[in-house]
């Protein structure tokens, strides 16, 4: 369905850049890089593996055989306890990169301040290889092999013998994407801790079934001349004259488009809600070269909420035109946002940026600890120190934030200012915006107006997206493969029902839909591949886990 889609081509570079970032900072790649070896005629034939006072020289061919088969040769027995499946994945995982992107990645990204910091962090595990030499290897590997993997990088480094400090390599790898891996380690605990004893919930209808109304879809565009931003949007309009229901706005994530949640828009519209799904201007195609420090312009953190407010103003005017009379209830708006769109939604609901706390994290945290959502938020540190309360739009009366990237940008108190009921959705295998740091901990700050936490054990960051209308390029090549296929249909079906029940709390049908917003009902929609949980507060056992894992992380940071 995406063939010939100009939007896919327009955003392909941004998608590739995101893949590059995610793979570069993945655990497997980092430790794989320090264990990989050259295999071409000009490559090193030996690796010297150092572990404390011990050292072992191994053949490159043995490393290669281990990577391909998993068999540990005799001269690697000393290191067998550390040769996990993630090491093998790091040795063999490959990121395909178009030659035209090679110079941008190797020069612009790796020479950015964060890129240099990343190389400086890795370098101690490779004594004898300077950051410049590692950087050169990355650039040459991309150019020579049209791709990037740990083996290829070291093939391009002109060294006869490569020394690896295994203890330092393990220390580095232990800090990579900590939030994601600690969520993974706690998945079973979360599944049990978030479970609520079964309660017989009587729901005599299926909230996930299509509604009675036919849906008319219209594509439009409006230009904000003052800010020079073109806002494309789709209107999903039910075939009814009733206007008592709130308007539903859908805000996409970074470089996602207006079709990202089209199945959800279609479902809500079939039940009588007018839905408007907007698309922000592409930042990847407008800002030229993208680096770790320039994934998104800082101004975008202000412009995206303003895009929504601008569009509400435009829809209010459209209400006065022939054929659209009173189509949009712009004074009573529910907003659904995914990933960065979750940030957009919560900001409009009153959340306040805490730039001082964000800067402290971005300047002092280990670069390998950061998850992709952190890298994205750190781009906001360039915003001026001024009040951002004006981003609050009083027309927003309800928020759904799906896999929101909000771990640091609101600090420890900014979410307490949210003025509306809120629902946060989280996926246990989300490697881009991991559940613990990006959703669970922020959820504890939200005021109970009320608030809900909808958790899925098993799905990934993009599992909630429309499988028919979202380019798969962004989902390719991640170390934790995105799950978006038929096995996630259970999740999308549950999201249809929960979202309808939630927005219906703003209507005269609120009481009818209340049983859907209960742990018993949501848990009953689980499958073998998707375990669902629904809570209004985090159990004490989970908050205690926050404290334990925070202490463990602090210990790792000191080592």
Q: Specify which of 25-29, 180-184, 325-329 reaches the highest per-range mean pLDDT.
A: 325-329
What confidence tens digit (pLDDT) does each residue in 78-100 have?
A: 667 667 665 676 666 555 555 55
Q: What is the pLDDT of residue 173?
A: 58
Scan for tokens 């959703």, then name that residue.
439
CB atoms within 10 A of CB 297: 15
CB 233, CB 276: distance < 8 Å? yes
Dihedral sign computed on CA atoms, order 134, 135, 141, 146: positive
The confidence band for 14, taking pLDDT boundaries of 50, 70 and 90, is: very low
Task: Tokens for 34, please give them.
Answer: 């320090």
546 CB-side CA count, 13 A: 15
Between these two residues, 437 and 139, which has the higher pLDDT value?
Answer: 437
Q: Which of 10-24, 215-229, 468-482, 491-505 has the lowest mean pLDDT?
A: 10-24
Residue 191's nearest CA partner among 426, 428, 402 is 428
CB 88, CB 74: distance < 8 Å? no
Between these two residues, 476 and 52, which has the higher pLDDT value?
Answer: 52
Residue 446's nearest CA partner among 398, 494, 491 is 398
Q: What is the pLDDT of residue 508?
A: 96
Scan for tokens 């565009």, then name that residue.
221
How high does pLDDT run on average in the chain? 79
What confidence tens digit (pLDDT) does each residue in 459-468 have?
A: 999 999 998 8
Q: What is the pLDDT of residue 34?
A: 41
CB 67, CB 91: distance < 8 Å? yes
Say if residue 357 is exposed, middle or buried (CB neighbours under 10 Å; 0-12, 13-18, 19+).
Answer: middle
Model confidence, pTM: 0.72
The confidence band for 346, taking pLDDT boundaries of 50, 70 and 90, is: very high
CB atoms within 10 A of CB 529: 15
Q: Is the pLDDT of residue 553 over 70?
A: no
From the CA atom positions of the chain, what is the Rg in Å?
24
CB 284, CB 106: distance < 8 Å? no
Q: What gap in Å lies between CA 141 and CA 102, rounded to an integer?
A: 9
Between these two residues, 41 and 451, which has the higher pLDDT value?
Answer: 451
Q: How many angstroms separate the Cα of 558 from the Cα of each of 52, 244, 353, 424?
A: 18, 58, 29, 33
Q: Could you state, in order of their start, the residue ranges of all structural domains in the chain?
A: 27-175, 189-354+384-558
* Percentages of the chain per state (helix, strand, coil), in multiples of 5: 45, 15, 40
CB 343, CB 301: distance < 8 Å? yes
The confidence band for 392, taking pLDDT boundaries of 50, 70 and 90, is: very high
Q: What is the pLDDT of residue 546?
A: 64
Q: Specify which of 69-83, 163-177, 392-406, 456-470 reaches the highest per-range mean pLDDT.
A: 392-406
Average pLDDT of span 478-503: 88
Strand ranges inside 390-510, DSSP E: 396-402, 422-427, 451-457
Average pLDDT of span 194-201: 76
Residue 455's nearest CA partner among 386, 385, 378, 537 is 537
Kindly report whether the peptide bond that precedes residue 450 is cis, defined as omega within 30 degrees of 0: yes
Q: How many angstroms separate the Cα of 377 from the Cα of each of 292, 294, 297, 353, 374?
A: 11, 11, 10, 11, 5
Residue 95's nearest CA partner among 150, 40, 43, 144 is 150
Fold designation for 189-354+384-558: Rossmann fold (3.40.50)
Residues with Cβ within 8 Å of residue 340, at least 6 apart in sequence: 252, 253, 254, 296, 304, 376, 405
Q: Is the pLDDT of residue 367 over 70?
A: no
Q: Which of 6-15, 134-143, 223-232 has the lowest mean pLDDT?
A: 6-15
CB 11, CB 255: distance < 8 Å? yes
Task: Tokens for 485, please give them.
Answer: 């296929």
Beta bridge partners of 46: 59, 161
Q: What is the pLDDT of residue 53?
A: 66
Average pLDDT of span 321-337: 95
Average pLDDT of span 338-347: 98
Beta bridge partners of 230: 223
Q: What is the pLDDT of residue 28?
A: 39
What confidence tens digit (pLDDT) does each residue in 27-59 have?
A: 333 444 444 433 333 455 677 877 666 677 887
Q: What is the pLDDT of residue 81?
A: 66
Q: Specify which of 264-268, 284-288, 386-390, 528-532 reaches the highest per-range mean pLDDT.
A: 264-268
What confidence tens digit (pLDDT) does each residue in 493-544 have?
A: 999 999 999 999 999 999 999 999 999 999 999 999 999 999 999 887 777 6
């Amino acid at each position: 369905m995406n063939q010939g889609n100009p939007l896919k081509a327009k955003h392909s570079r941004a998608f590739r850049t995101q893949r590059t970032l995610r793979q570069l900072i993945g655990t497997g790649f980092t430790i794989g890089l320090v264990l990989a070896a050259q295999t071409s005629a000009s490559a090193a034939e030996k690796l010297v593996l150092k572990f404390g006072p011990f050292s072992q020289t191994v053949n490159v061919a043995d490393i290669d055989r281990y990577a391909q088969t998993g068999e540990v040769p005799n001269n690697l027995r000393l290191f067998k306890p550390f040769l996990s499946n993630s090491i093998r994945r790091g040795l063999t995982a490959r990121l395909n990169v178009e030659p035209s992107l090679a110079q941008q990645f190797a020069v612009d990204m790796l020479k950015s301040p964060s890129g240099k910091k990343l190389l400086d962090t890795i370098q101690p595990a490779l004594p004898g290889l300077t950051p410049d030499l590692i950087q050169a290897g990355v650039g040459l590997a991309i150019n020579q092999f049209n791709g990037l993997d740990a083996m290829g990088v070291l093939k391009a480094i002109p060294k006869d013998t490569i020394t690896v400090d295994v203890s330092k390599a393990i220390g580095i790898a232990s800090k990579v994407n900590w939030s994601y891996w600690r969520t993974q380690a706690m998945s079973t605990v979360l599944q049990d801790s978030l479970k609520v004893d079964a309660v017989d919930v009587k729901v005599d209808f299926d909230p996930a079934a299509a509604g009675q109304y036919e849906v008319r879809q219209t594509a439009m565009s409006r230009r904000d001349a003052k800010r020079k931003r073109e806002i494309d949007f789709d209107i999903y309009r039910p075939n009814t004259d009733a206007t008592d229901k709130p308007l539903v706005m859908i805000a996409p994530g970074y470089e996602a488009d207006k079709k990202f949640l089209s199945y959800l828009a279609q479902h809500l519209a079939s039940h009588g809600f007018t839905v408007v799904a907007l698309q922000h201007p592409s930042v990847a195609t407008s800002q030229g070269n993208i680096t770790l420090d320039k994934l998104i312009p800082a101004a975008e953190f202000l412009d995206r909420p303003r895009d929504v407010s601008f569009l509400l103003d435009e829809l209010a005017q459209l209400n006065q035109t022939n054929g659209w009379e009173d189509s949009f209830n712009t004074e009573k708006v529910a907003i659904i946002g995914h990933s960065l769109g979750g940030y957009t939604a919560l900001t409009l609901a009153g959340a306040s940026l805490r730039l001082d706390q964000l800067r402290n994290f971005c300047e002092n945290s280990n670069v390998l600890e950061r998850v992709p959502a952190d890298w994205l938020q750190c781009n906001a540190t360039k915003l001026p120190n001024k009040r951002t309360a004006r981003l609050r739009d009083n027309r927003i009366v309800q928020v759904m934030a799906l896999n929101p990237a909000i771990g640091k940008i609101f600090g420890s108190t900014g979410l307490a200012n949210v003025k509306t009921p809120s629902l946060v959705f989280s996926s246990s295998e989300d490697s881009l915006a991991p559940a613990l740091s990006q959703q669970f901990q922020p959820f504890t700050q939200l005021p109970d107006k009320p608030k809900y936490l909808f958790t899925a054990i098993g799905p990934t960051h993009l599992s909630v997206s429309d499988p028919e209308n979202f380019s798969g390029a962004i989902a390719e090549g991640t170390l934790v493969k995105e799950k978006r296929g038929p096995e996630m249909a259970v999740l999308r079906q549950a999201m249809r029902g929960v979202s309808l029940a939630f927005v219906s709390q703003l209507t005269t049908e609120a009481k009818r839909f209340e049983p859907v917003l209960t742990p018993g009902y949501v848990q009953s929609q689980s499958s073998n591949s998707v375990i669902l949980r629904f809570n209004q507060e985090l159990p004490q056992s989970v908050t205690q886990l926050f404290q334990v894992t925070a202490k463990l992380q602090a210990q790792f940071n000191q080592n």
